[in-house]
Amino acid sequence: MQQRGFLLILSGPSGAGKNTVLDAARERLPDLLYSVSATTRPRRPLEEDGRDYFFLAKEEFQRRVKAGEFLEWAEFCNHYYGTPMAYITEALEKGQVVAMDIDIQGARQVKEKMPEAVFVFLLPPTMAELESRLRGRSSDSDTAIRRRLHTALSELKAGIEYDYVIRNDEIDRAADQLVAIITAERCRLRHSEYFELLKDIVGEQGVISKDDEPTAH
């Protein structure tokens, strides 16, 4: 019997430190898989195909978009970036946990295709400062800060019902919390091996026969 895999999405406003926190979590959980993106941008010297990115020609990328082969994709600075669906579904079928960090728009696309994924929102380290300023401890003219906070909050509100929120005041603490979320989600009834057992044994007729049913006790 095998645990059921799940996809963990770490998202949040830019500057939240998604990549740093996820890297720190991966150090603590060596068997955590990291989703490798595909891209059409040129490979940089130290990058490796299949480890850092799957490097694709633009035509091939577009073909795969049309074929629905990406969980999500986007264009930045004239290059395409996307998450190959096959890589993730294969890992999930093996019972593995796959993590990816992604911007809020990308997380929205994932939510549409895989609503059962676990969604974690990472708050930028500056949130506490923004918050206290918003709460009246700064000059009213400081609208830039209010604007940034408003954007972060409205993105969260409008975007996705995130399952968890982590405040990235301290990378180690944030990474510990992410690891705890992954450990807890592995114990979640629907992800646990026990869920399958329950379905196998109790949910199906005949596996436990009437003769085996307990008498009054």
We find the least distance from the C-beta atom of residue 103 to its own copies, in angstroms, to be: 14
Binding of its own copies at residue 74 (CB under 8 A)?
A: no
Q: Using alpha carbons, select from 94, 70, 63 the residue that is nearest to residue 84.
A: 70
Binding of its own copies at residue 187 (CB under 8 A)?
A: yes
Letters for 198-217 (x = contact with its own copies by CB under 8 A, - = none) are x--xxx----x--xxxx--x
Stretch that binds its own copies, among 25-33, 95-103, 109-117, 156-164 (CB under 8 A): 156-164
Tokens describing residue 186: 């592995």
Is the separation of the CB atoms in 97 and 32 below 8 Å? yes
Stretch that binds its own copies, among 22-30, 85-93, 107-115, 158-166 (CB under 8 A): 158-166
Q: Using alpha carbons, select from 10, 23, 189, 162 the residue that is nearest to residue 101.
A: 10
Burial class from Cβ neighbours inside 10 Å (0-12, 13-18, 19+) for residue 210 reads exposed
Binding of its own copies at residue 108 (CB under 8 A)?
A: no
Ranges within 2-61 binding its own copies (CB under 8 A): none
- For residues 27 and 179, give the distance between their C-alpha atoms in angstroms, rounded to a whole number: 10
Helix, strand or coil for residue 162?
coil
83 vs 177, beta carbon nearer its own copies: 177
- For residues 60 and 68, give the distance between their C-alpha atoms in angstroms, rounded to a whole number: 12
Stretch that binds its own copies, among 27-35, 68-76, 93-101, 157-165 (CB under 8 A): 157-165
Binding of its own copies at residue 181 (CB under 8 A)?
A: yes
**Sequence-distant (≥ 6) Cβ neighbours of residue 62 within 8 angstroms:** 80
Whole-number CA gyration radius for the chain: 21
60 vs 172, beta carbon nearer its own copies: 172
Applying CB under 8 A, which residues contact its own copies? 1, 120-121, 123, 131, 134, 143, 146-147, 149-151, 153-154, 156-157, 161-167, 176-177, 179-181, 183-189, 192, 194-195, 197-198, 201-203, 208, 211-214, 217
